[in-house]
Amino acid sequence: MKQKDVKIPEATIKRLSTYINCLEKLDGDGYQVVSSDLLGESCQVSPAQIRKDLSYFGEFGVRGVGYGTRSLAEQIKKILGLDHIWTTVLVGVGHLGQALLNFTAFRQHGFRIVGAFDADPAKIGTVVSDGVVIEPVSALDDTIHREQAGIGIITVPAANAQETADLLVEGGITGILNFAPIKVRVPENITLRNVSILSELDNLAYLLSNRTRRRSRKKS
Amino acid sequence: MKQKDVKIPEATIKRLSTYINCLEKLDGDGYQVVSSDLLGESCQVSPAQIRKDLSYFGEFGVRGVGYGTRSLAEQIKKILGLDHIWTTVLVGVGHLGQALLNFTAFRQHGFRIVGAFDADPAKIGTVVSDGVVIEPVSALDDTIHREQAGIGIITVPAANAQETADLLVEGGITGILNFAPIKVRVPENITLRNVSILSELDNLAYLLSNRTRRRSRKKS
DNA sequence: TTCATATTGTGATAAGAATCACGCAACCGG
DNA sequence: CCGGTTGCGTGATTCTTATCACAATATGAA
Ligand SMILES: NC(=O)c1ccc[n+]([C@@H]2O[C@H](COP(=O)([O-])OP(=O)(O)OC[C@H]3O[C@@H](n4cnc5c(N)ncnc54)[C@H](O)[C@@H]3O)[C@@H](O)[C@H]2O)c1
Ligand SMILES: NC(=O)c1ccc[n+]([C@@H]2O[C@H](COP(=O)([O-])OP(=O)(O)OC[C@H]3O[C@@H](n4cnc5c(N)ncnc54)[C@H](O)[C@@H]3O)[C@@H](O)[C@H]2O)c1
B31-54 pLDDT, tens digit each: 999 999 999 999 999 999 999 999
The amino acid occupying position A124 is I
Whether nucleic acid strand D comes within 7 Å of the CB of B65, the answer is yes
Ligand 1 centre to CA of B55 (Å) is 35
| Banded model confidence at residue A130, pLDDT cuts 50, 70, 90 | confident
Residue B2, pLDDT score = 47
Using the predicted structure, report yes or no on whether residue A74 has a pLDDT greater than 50: yes
Q: Do B206 and A79 touch (CB under 8 A)?
A: yes
Predicted confidence (pLDDT) per residue in A157-204, tens digit: 999 999 999 999 999 999 999 999 999 999 999 999 999 999 999 999
Percentage of chain B modeled with pLDDT above 70: 93
Predicted confidence (pLDDT) per residue in B149-202, tens digit: 999 999 999 999 999 999 999 999 999 999 999 999 999 999 999 999 999 999
Whether nucleic acid strand C comes within 7 Å of the CB of B11, the answer is yes
Percentage of chain A modeled with pLDDT above 90: 90
**What are the residues whose beta carbons fall under 8 Å from the beta carbon of B120, sequence distance 6 or more?**
none
| Banded model confidence at residue B131, pLDDT cuts 50, 70, 90 | confident
Residue of chain B minimizing CA distance to A5 = B213
| Banded model confidence at residue A129, pLDDT cuts 50, 70, 90 | confident
User: Looking at CA atoms only, how far is residue A19 from chain B in angstroms?
Assistant: 10
Using the predicted structure, report yes or no on whether residue A213 has a pLDDT greater than 70: no
| Banded model confidence at residue B137, pLDDT cuts 50, 70, 90 | very high
Whether nucleic acid strand C comes within 7 Å of the CB of A63, the answer is yes
Question: B82 CB near a chain A CB, below 8 Å?
Answer: yes
Identify which of A218, A167, A16 has the alpha carbon closest to the alpha carbon of residue B188: A218
Ligand 2 centre to CA of B190 (Å) is 22
User: Looking at CA atoms only, how far is residue A64 from chain B in angstroms?
Assistant: 27
Ligand 1 centre to CA of B123 (Å) is 25
What CATH architecture does domain B10-80 belong to?
Orthogonal Bundle (1.10)
Using the predicted structure, report yes or no on whether residue A120 has a pLDDT greater than 90: yes
Q: What is the pTM of this model?
A: 0.94
Q: Tell me the domain boundaries of chain B.
A: 10-80, 86-199
Identify which of B67, B145, B150, B141 has the alpha carbon closest to the alpha carbon of residue B113: B150
Question: B155 CB near a chain A CB, below 8 Å?
Answer: no
Under CATH, which number does the domain B86-199 receive? 3.40.50.720
Question: A130 CB near a chain B CB, below 8 Å?
Answer: no
Residue B198, pLDDT score = 96
Q: Are B193 and A204 in contact (CB under 8 A)?
A: yes
Q: Do A3 and B210 touch (CB under 8 A)?
A: yes
Q: How far is the CA of A177 from the C1' of D9 (A)?
A: 36
Q: Do B81 and A209 touch (CB under 8 A)?
A: yes
Residue B212, pLDDT score = 61
Q: Cα separation of A157 and B2, whole Å? A: 36
Q: What is the DSSP string of chain B?
A: ----SSPPPHHHHHHHHHHHHHHHHHHHTT-SEE-HHHHHHHHT--HHHHHHHHHTT---SBTTTBEEHHHHHHHHHHHHT-SS-EEEEEE--SHHHHHHHT-HHHHHTTEEEEEEEES-GGGTT-EEETTEEEEEGGGHHHHHHHHT--EEEE-S-HHHHHHHHHHHHHHT--EEEE-SSS-----TTSEEEE--HHHHHHHHHHHHHT-SS-------
Whether nucleic acid strand C comes within 7 Å of the CB of A64, the answer is yes
